[in-house]
Amino acid sequence: MLNVQKIREDFPILNQKIHDKPLAYLDNGSTSQKPKVVIDAITNYYNWYNSNIHRGIHTLSEKATEAYENVRKIVADFIKAPDPEEIIFTRNATEAVNLVAYAWGRKNISTGDEILLTEMEHHSNLIPWQILAKEKKAVLRFIPITQNFTLDLDKIEDLITSKTKLVAVTQMSNVLGTINPVKKIAGLAHKAKALFLIDGAQGVPHSGIDVANVNCDFLAFTAHKMLGPTGVGVLYGKKKLLEEMDPFIAGGSMILEVWQDRATWNKVPYKYEAGTPNIADVIAFGEAIKYLQNIGMENVRNHEKELTAYALKKLCETEDLTIYGPKNPELQGGIISFNFSAKGGSDSVGIDIHPHDVGTIVDQEGVAIRAGHHCCQPLMRKLGIPGTARASFYIYNTKEEIDQLTFALGKVKEVFARL
């Protein structure tokens, strides 16, 4: 079990009040807070060894290069990648997916080929494939969701055909919290000789992943949702695939030799890391991973299951509230999306409360949640709603903060009952 109160001491931002109320930060699906060791790592880099990497022979450059490259090893160990050279640093998970769409997709997708996604994908794992499909005259197909907000596994084998060249699936829905059986889907994709990409932006921070065991071909995730800084993402790719792909962004560092009319490319992973990278934040990301490893990802997951079970119980007791998700902590991560209605004034007419209004009112009680379509507009249309309010949990959250949320939702009802 986590010592949550001890953990909270490591996060300076949590020790404040919002509108004279204790901050209950329940927007971790958007971005997580940062422990002091991560913040200090950024400061230490700029204070003591700020220098460019891979191109200097002086002491500061060598120290910065060593620290930066050590994080590649830390990331590889965290996701159980066989080789640190299979780890590419990007700006975010979105860029990681785009890298695959451009560098692999434009070389391997042709007219009539099919790319299989799901109905719960974030725009980051949808729009790059829309653009590629339009350019290459390929076809996008979608694994549907069931009434229980899980993937319809019975439909997958029918949807994966000899025309399927890529299956790209979120590890965990950022709206529904649904955890998808990525290992099973990887097996079905490979059986059809298709490649398999995982969008791990939500899943990796909460349960980790073993890429060798899952046998995915690509994995995209991001630092800022797992205690790290913004501006750092990761693409894992099997080395053979990365070596066969063309560069994504061209310029310095990604070259081996250059003439006026031609160039040769650097080896993997540097072929995909053009220009000066986000050195300080990559180094700080290493500290974030070590922090999570010290806690243990199994403990992280168990804490979230406990919080999710408690939150589901409390929210299900709240009248006029609709929850979108499996409502089962074993099948979902620490994300709960919901909408709210209220009985209006003297005529008792029901009012659908917009998620933005919910988010604004609970903020007055010190509670930070997300409100909107969460970059999942096709899913919202599938659900027949404009958006949801979303509470999402992480290692420093407590049951008391969930109580604070439910109290704040009572305030929402009070406001709209007067209308």
Can you state the percent helix, strand and coil of the chain, rounding each to 5? 45, 20, 35
How many other C-beta atoms can be found within 10 angstroms of the C-beta atom of residue 13? 12
Instruction: Report CA-CA distances (Å) from 315 to 236, 332, 338, 361.
Output: 37, 16, 9, 17
How big is the CA angle at 83 (ends 77 and 85), to the nearest 5 degrees?
110
316 is catalytic: no
CB 119 within 8 A of CB 266: no
Phi, psi torsion values for 209, nearest 5 degrees? -165, 150
Specify the DSSP class assigned to residue 345: T
Active site residue: 216, 316, 375, 376, which one? 375
> 198-226 burial, b if ≥16 CB within 10 A, otherwise e?
bbbbbbbbbbbbebeebebbbbbbbbbbb
* Residues sharing a CB contact under 8 Å with residue 264, sequence separation 6 or more, in sequence order: 255, 256, 257, 258
Q: Name residue, tokens 């180094």.
A: 283
CA 299 to chain CA mean position, Å: 19
Catalogue the active-site residues.
Answer: 375
